[in-house]
């Protein structure tokens, strides 16, 4: 160890400890001149062939920091404080060949012969810095990977949500298709049932009038004299009645078909209800049984607003039923009333009535009450009546008791309303 200042003890023990240290140690006087440097410091700063003793401290510091470091050094000399390794900032040092490298420095101070000295312990932290930089790069890479994972996760969630929505849409479509298929199957079943019941009903209802027509025609051929005219008239009336029955059956099926296909046009207009009902009664008188009588009463203004064609079909059907299911020598009452823009019609008979167990099915297609199986009919009349009343924006109610008769009540709005348009 070399040094110009002979005031520092150079005994062998100190020199052995000083030079065997595994970090650089330098001692600097108050002027910033290096007065002692161990072997490790000389090798650290590339002074292998000579000692850095006698050099100005700033020679170990990059040129760009010289002006600041002089101030720091002088400030520390006036107010020295110990600073442990790792407490201070990471600094840059420069080797004798000009190579810069990172160092960590801890400082101490002491006085010798009233002269202040600063001792610096210098550690090369190049490898640590390299490791730190690697860690920083790895962290940056991890953050980039993490961000990429977040993006991938977000994309995956978006795709899952999209697929979920598509799946829900597909399931909804399948459910709708299932419902449509079920409805279609139900309609097909209903149509097949309708065809079956029609064939069954037609084979029965058509046979009687057709047989009557054929037998009457055969008998007519036998009556050739003038005296046989009353007999001919009788059979001609039977033929006319049977033809009317067939016509009524066919008309009911045609009406039902038009209703099912939505081809019934509602064309309301104002008309005199009393004249309308009286005209229907005159037409229906020919169907009355012996000593049957139709009585009609009206309350309120006679002017109503509705589709007279549909309303006539309703009244004719209900009145025909009243005549058909009422005994001879009975009275059938028709009552009408127009009040508060509501028209009410009631048809009251003294007929056989409707069993309670059958009343819930009264307006179903082809339904016939259990007590009328021996009376001709298709079971479509009341179904069509109910559908027509719906088209007139009205409602139909009934009350009935076995062997005491039935009352059918119809109500509909009797003023111009937009719902008809």
Look at 188-192, 273-277, 278-282 and tell me which has the smallest mean pLDDT: 188-192
- Residue 153: pLDDT above 90? no
Output 336-341 pairs: Cβ under 8 A, ≥24 positions apart: 336/273, 336/274, 336/277, 336/296, 336/297, 336/298, 336/299, 337/298, 337/299, 337/300, 338/273, 338/299, 338/300, 338/301, 338/302, 338/303, 338/304, 338/414, 339/299, 339/300, 341/413, 341/414, 341/415
Output 124-133 pairs: Cβ under 8 A, ≥24 positions apart: 124/24, 124/44, 125/90, 126/101, 126/102, 129/90, 129/102
- Per-residue confidence at 215, pLDDT binned at 50, 70, 90? low
pLDDT at 315: 93
- Residue 396: pLDDT above 80? yes
- Per-residue confidence at 299, pLDDT binned at 50, 70, 90? very high
- Residue 137: pLDDT above 80? yes
Question: Measured between alpha carbons, how far is 54 from 2 in angstroms, rounded to an integer?
Answer: 10
Query: In the predicted model, what is the mean pLDDT of residues 285-307?
Result: 93
Q: Which CATH superfamily is domain 12-124 in?
A: PAS domain (3.30.450.20)
- Per-residue confidence at 9, pLDDT binned at 50, 70, 90? very low
- The predicted-structure confidence for 235-273, as pLDDT tens digits, reads as follows 676 676 666 666 666 666 666 667 767 778 888 999 999
- pLDDT mean across residues, the chain: 80
pLDDT at 23: 87
- Residue 181: pLDDT above 70? yes
- Residue 176: pLDDT above 70? yes
CATH number of this structure's domain 264-420: 3.30.565.10
pLDDT at 8: 44
- Per-residue confidence at 17, pLDDT binned at 50, 70, 90? confident
Query: In the predicted model, what is the mean pLDDT of residues 292-305?
Result: 95
- Residue 374: pLDDT above 70? no
pLDDT at 190: 64
- Residue 389: pLDDT above 60? yes
Phi and psi at 338, nearest 5°, equal -120, 115
| Between residues 421 and 412, the one the model is more confident about | 412
- Residue 185: pLDDT above 90? no
Tell me the domain boundaries of the chain. Answer: 12-124, 131-205, 209-261, 264-420
């Amino acid at each position: 160890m070399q040094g110009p200042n002979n005031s520092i003890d150079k005994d062998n023990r100190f020199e052995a400890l000083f030079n065997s240290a595994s970090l650089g140690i330098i001692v600097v006087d108050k002027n910033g001149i290096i007065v002692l440097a161990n072997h490790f410091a000389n090798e650290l700063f590339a002074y292998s062939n000579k000692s850095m003793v006698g050099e100005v401290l700033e020679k170990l510091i990059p040129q760009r920091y010289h002006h600041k470091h002089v101030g720091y050094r002088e400030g520390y000399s006036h107010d020295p404080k110990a600073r442990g390794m790792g407490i201070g900032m990471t600094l840059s040092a420069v080797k004798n060949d000009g190579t810069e490298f990172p160092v960590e420095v801890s400082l101490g101070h002491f006085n010798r012969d009233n002269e202040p000295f600063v001792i610096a312990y210098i550690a090369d932290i190049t490898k640590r810095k390299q490791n730190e930089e690697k860690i920083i790069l790895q962290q940056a890479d991890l953050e980039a990977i993490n961000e990429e994972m977040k993006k991938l996760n977000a994309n995956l969630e978006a795709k899952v949500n999209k697929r979920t929505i598509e799946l829900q849409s597909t399931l909804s479509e399948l459910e709708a298709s299932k419902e449509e298929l079920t409805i279609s199957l139900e309609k097909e079943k209903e149509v097949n049932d309708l065809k079956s019941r029609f064939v069954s009903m037609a084979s029965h209802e058509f046979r009687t009038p057709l047989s009557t027509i054929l037998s009457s025609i055969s008998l007519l051929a036998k009556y050739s004299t003038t005296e046989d005219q009353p007999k001919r008239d009788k059979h001609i009336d039977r033929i006319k009645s049977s033809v009317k029955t067939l016509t009524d059956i066919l008309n009911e099926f045609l009406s039902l078909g038009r209703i099912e296909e939505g081809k019934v046009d509602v064309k309301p207009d104002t008309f005199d209800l009393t004249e309308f009902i009286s005209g229907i009664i005159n037409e229906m008188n020919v169907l009355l049984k012996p000593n049957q009588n139709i009585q009609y009463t009206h309350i309120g203004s006679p002017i109503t607003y509705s589709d007279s064609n549909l309303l006539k079909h309703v009244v004719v059907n209900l009145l025909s039923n009243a005549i058909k299911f009422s005994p001879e020598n009975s009275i059938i009452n028709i009552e009408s009333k127009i009040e508060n823009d509501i028209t009410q019609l009631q048809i009251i008979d003294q007929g056989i009535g409707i069993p309670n167990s059958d009343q819930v099915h009264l307006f179903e297609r082809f339904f016939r009450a259990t007590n009328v199986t021996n009376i001709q009919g298709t079971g479509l009349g009341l179904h069509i009546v109910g559908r027509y009343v719906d088209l007139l924006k009205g409602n139909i109610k009934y009350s009935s008791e076995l062997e005491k008769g039935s009352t059918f009540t119809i109500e509909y709005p009797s003023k111009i309303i937009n719902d008809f348009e």
